[in-house]
Chains A and B, each alone.
Chain A
Amino acid sequence: MVASMENIVKRYQAHTALDHMNLTIHQGETLGLLGPNGAGKTTAIRVLTGLTTADAGETRLFGTEMKGAALAVKRRIGVVPQDLALYETLSARDNLNYFGRLYGVRGHDLKNRVDEVLELLGLTDVAKKAPKKFSGGMKRRLNIGCAIIHRPELLILDEPTVGIDPQSRNHILSFVEGMAKAGTTVLYTSHYMEEVERVCSRVLIMDAGHVIANGSVEELTKAAIFEETVTLEVREAAPDLPDSVKKVQGVQRCEPDGRSLTVTSAAGSQNLARIIECAAPYVILSVAAKRPTLEDAFLALTGKKLRDNGGEGI
């Protein structure tokens, strides 16, 4: 086990940010941490990285309890904050050098490692330029580079793709996948479900300061009970179709939109065949049954939607 948090409680005056939270991170896995704003994700990361101390509970990293400075343990983790954590007037190379030195990398090893990271993140050509001249995606990449310069065993990324273009996002996700394949343990928080579905082998869903669900994406989507949604499209106008579909057992809503009709039924209704039968008098162009996603699971478990403009960051 790489990290664990047991019964962690953290209060900020009257507000309880973490309420007996439990978490374990296993060697080599990529763990996704999901939760609505204020769920406690950022506080959990702060406790985990030693930026703040918990009021109760025990945090362990690599078998060592995180007490005091815990310098030896900190050497083995890399942290990518949600907001850019760079010296914007210094060059990309200077930034990497600085964080490398803080982690004890020096001399030729530091120079080689800086070159390697610049290459890995596609920043070699702009190594001498200051990040203030970078695009958002390049800044994000450098932000990650500063966290991996010392080859951490546990990489913690707090919403690393906020506010960047799809190309840069894809670059970062591929990079995270590569790190995971190379054996690095990753803790990844994001508001983008498709990112978590893509890179994470296991997902924790947090709400109100504690974990409410834990499992793989498949396990979570199966565990949650969902409404069933079918959308069908006919060639000509079908004014009588909604009324006949509404009579089918289990149908809760029927929403026509031009020649399309979206039908929502109660969980477990399994009435796709009966809905198609209602539409038989018409020429059916397409039928689509919506597959439940992690987003649906999240909504079902927390009753809330994730938003893009997330928490306050580390």
Chain B
Amino acid sequence: MRGFLATFAVGFKSLWKSPVSVFILIAFPILLILILGTALSTYISADIELEPAPMAVAAEEGGPLRAFLASPDISPFFELTYTDAAEAEALTKSGDVICAVVEGGDGSLDVLSQSQISFTAQIALSILDSYQRIGAAAAAAATEGGDIAAALGMDLSVTDMPLGKRAPSATDYYAVTMLVMILLYTGLNGVELFSKGMLSDTGRRARTAPISKAALVGGLLAASTVTSFLQGMVTFVFSGVVYGVYWGERIPLVLATLFAVVLLSQALCLFLLMLFRHPGAAGGAAQAFFWVSTFVSGGYTKVSFGPADAVFQYAPNAMAHTVIFGSIFGGNEGKMMFCLAALFGLGLLFYVLSFILGRRRFS
């Protein structure tokens, strides 16, 4: 514990005392928010940023679902193709539509989603989800003693969320995607700190001290993780206070997701460092991966890759977006929890791989 605490303290202090690190940790995120947030929000207004989502609908003609989708509040979000159930499924599989909604004979809805990688698709699915919940609530209300809240699966006031709540502005969107991106890049702090504290002459000297390697490694990783997370908090608070970015009401879930991103980033960078045994090579590989992950997840600009979206929705950034946007604007709970667990799980996996490689490296 003595070695862990001493290493944690020195790692934490050295990260915050380095002018370059301070710039990266604080000024850089604030500058990004300032420049991109301000610039984009001036010409992309909240109500025009969503592209209509191509969606196939297999529903009774003149029925309530078609009426709902044709309503003035909802119709701008969709580019609808009315068809039967089989073709709706085929269109989804081929990627011609983002999702399909098939109405069952008993009034139930079956939503087929090719991918939720697109932010527009998430909003579209969120709308359908609300429609389904409203329907369930109505059914519950029609049944004597029916539990409306249970049927909705959430608080009553949330049922009209996509219609009543504000839509995400460009600033909201980029605040989330950039924060995820920045936190992913903070793994590079870990590369720097771990190289210094474990692999360099300073680290070698520390390894001649009477402390275990686990305490040394743990202290460095904890210092880098805490510093990186605090960096995220600076951007998080700043974006909310200065730009009024809406982070939703499930703040603990958002923070847990951000923490999962930090852990994954640190673990991946540590793994690359153990693999390449060179800070420059590890940092370069990490940066390339972060860039690709951010790009395919729509972190730089919203983009669709067709069928490949089915894979790209599991990029680290995309999974974090799924959880955070889902928590703010309503999303598929199952998928959100899966993505959160996957982020933590991947982090754990890379830590384990790092320690396996590290045992060889330091034996």
Same assembly: yes
Interface residue ranges, A against B (CB under 8 Å): 49-51, 53, 69, 71-75, 77, 79, 81-87, 89-90, 94, 98-99, 101-104, 106, 130, 146-147, 313-314
Q: Could you jot down 6 A-B contacts, CB within 8 Å?
A: A72-B210, A90-B10, A94-B10, A102-B6, A104-B2, A147-B205
Query: In this assembly, does B209 line the interface, its C-beta being within 8 Å of a C-beta of chain A?
Result: yes
Contact B201 A102 (CB under 8 A): no
> How distant is the Cα of A73 from the Cα of B210 in the complex, in angstroms?
8
8 A Cβ contacts from B311-363 to A: 363
Contact A87 B3 (CB under 8 A): no
Contact B201 A83 (CB under 8 A): yes
Contact B207 A51 (CB under 8 A): yes
Apart from A103-B210, A146-B205, 9 more pairs, CB < 8 Å: A51-B204, A75-B210, A85-B204, A89-B18, A98-B9, A99-B209, A102-B2, A102-B3, A314-B205
Contact A85 B210 (CB under 8 A): no
Name A101's closest neighbour in chain B (CB-CB): B6
Q: How many A-B residue pairs have CB under 8 A?
A: 78
Query: In this assembly, does B200 line the interface, its C-beta being within 8 Å of a C-beta of chain A?
Result: yes
Name A147's closest neighbour in chain B (CB-CB): B205
8 A Cβ contacts from B59-85 to A: none
Q: What are the nearest 9 A-B pairs in CB distance?
A: A101-B6, A102-B209, A85-B205, A85-B201, A71-B210, A74-B210, A75-B210, A83-B201, A98-B10
> How distant is the Cα of A147 from the Cα of B13 in the complex, in angstroms?
21
The 0/1 profile, CB within 8 Å of A marked 1, for residues 205-217 of chain B is 1111111110000
Chain A nearest Cβ from B204, distance in angstroms: 6
- Known: A90-B13, A94-B10. Is A74-B202 also a contact (CB below 8 A)? no
- Chain B interface category by residue count: 20 to 34
Inter-chain contacts of A79 with B (CB < 8 A): 205, 208
Inter-chain contacts of A99 with B (CB < 8 A): 205-206, 209
Main secondary structure of the interface of B (DSSP, over half): helix
- Known: A85-B200, A85-B201, A313-B201. Is A49-B14 also a contact (CB below 8 A)? no
Inter-chain contacts of B211 with A (CB < 8 A): 71, 102
Chain B nearest Cβ from A39, distance in angstroms: 20
Name B203's closest neighbour in chain A (CB-CB): A85
Chain A nearest Cβ from B224, distance in angstroms: 14
Chain B nearest Cβ from A132, distance in angstroms: 10
- Known: A85-B205, A103-B210, A314-B201. Is A53-B10 also a contact (CB below 8 A)? no
Inter-chain contacts of B6 with A (CB < 8 A): 98, 101-102
> How distant is the Cα of A69 from the Cα of B207 in the complex, in angstroms?
10
Inter-chain contacts of A103 with B (CB < 8 A): 209-210
Query: In this assembly, does B196 line the interface, its C-beta being within 8 Å of a C-beta of chain A?
Result: yes
Inter-chain contacts of B200 with A (CB < 8 A): 85
Contact A87 B205 (CB under 8 A): no
> How distant is the Cα of A78 from the Cα of B201 in the complex, in angstroms?
14
Contact A89 B14 (CB under 8 A): yes
> How distant is the Cα of A103 from the Cα of B209 in the complex, in angstroms?
6
Chain A nearest Cβ from B217, distance in angstroms: 13
Query: In this assembly, does B17 line the interface, its C-beta being within 8 Å of a C-beta of chain A?
Result: yes
> How distant is the Cα of A81 from the Cα of B212 in the complex, in angstroms?
20
Chain B nearest Cβ from A179, distance in angstroms: 18
> How distant is the Cα of A83 from the Cα of B205 in the complex, in angstroms?
10
A50, A53, A87 — most chain B CB neighbours (10 Å): A87
Chain B nearest Cβ from A300, distance in angstroms: 34
Inter-chain contacts of A69 with B (CB < 8 A): 210, 212-213
Inter-chain contacts of B2 with A (CB < 8 A): 101-102, 104, 106
- Known: A69-B212, A72-B210. Is A87-B204 also a contact (CB below 8 A)? no
Chain A nearest Cβ from B208, distance in angstroms: 5
The 0/1 profile, CB within 8 Å of A marked 1, for residues 3-46 of chain B is 10111011001100110000000000000000000000000000
Contact B202 A85 (CB under 8 A): yes
Name A130's closest neighbour in chain B (CB-CB): B17
Inter-chain contacts of B196 with A (CB < 8 A): 87
